[in-house]
């Protein structure tokens, strides 16, 4: 059996998944530190797993979400596994795609995982909109105030270089920022 472990960011730890997969009998565990929204082909560990897997193998993961977040991508991947004679086992759900019931449960769970992600995105957007209505502005602070942008544009129009404009503004930004605000 071949294991697959994935975390979304580099500062998350794969040990818990790796230990569970080893305990489940996996001979080898492939790992990724990448978002589940990236396609399976865009994850080096998944690509290596797919290159290594042969007919009769089973791929084991602790949770369905480790394979991906988008139902369409996940189902296409499961179909590829099925066409190649490779099984999928999801430990926390007791799913084994070698059985018709396992395939049905997997399809339903994949749809629920995508819905959960869509709801999370919707709640995040709603929260940000509510914060904006209360006067909270998110995101990175602007490098230059409106007055500084106007001055930078005026200086550039008079032929002042970006480097000199940065110096005249007190070095509060980079030359690239000056070029970007003047152009935009």
Copy the structure tokens of residue 14.
């794969």
Say whether 72 is catalytic. no
Catalytic residue from among 8, 39, 145, 174: 8
Alpha helices in 43-170 (DSSP H): 44-52, 71-83, 100-133, 146-157, 162-168
Contacts of 77 (CB under 8 A, 6+ apart): 40, 67, 68
Residues 184 and 181: their CA atoms lie apart, in Å, by 5
Which pairs count as long-range contacts for 46-52, CB under 8 Å and 24+ apart, including other chains? Answer: 46/4, 46/6, 49/2, 49/4, 50/80, 52/2, 52/28
Q: Which residues are catalytic?
A: 8
């Amino acid at each position: 059996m071949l294991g697959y472990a994935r975390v979304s960011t580099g500062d998350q730890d794969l040990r818990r998944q790796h230990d569970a997969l080893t305990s489940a009998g996996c001979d080898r565990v492939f790992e990724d530190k990448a978002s589940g929204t990236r396609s399976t082909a865009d994850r080096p560990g998944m690509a290596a797993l797919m290159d290594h897997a042969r007919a009769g193998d089973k791929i084991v993961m602790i949770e369905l979400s480790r394979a991906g977040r988008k139902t369409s991508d996940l189902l296409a991947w499961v179909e590829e596994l099925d066409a190649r004679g490779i099984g999928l086992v999801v430990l926390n759900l007791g799913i084994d795609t070698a059985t018709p019931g396992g395939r049905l449960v997997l399809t339903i769970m994949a749809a629920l995982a995508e819905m959960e992600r869509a709801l999370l995105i919707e709640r995040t957007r709603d929260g940000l909109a509510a914060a904006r209505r209360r006067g909270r502005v998110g995101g990175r602070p602007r490098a230059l105030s409106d007055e500084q942008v106007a001055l930078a544009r005026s200086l550039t129009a008079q032929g002042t270089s970006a480097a000199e404009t940065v110096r005249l503004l007190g070095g509060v930004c980079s030359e690239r920022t000056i070029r970007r605000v003047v152009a935009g």
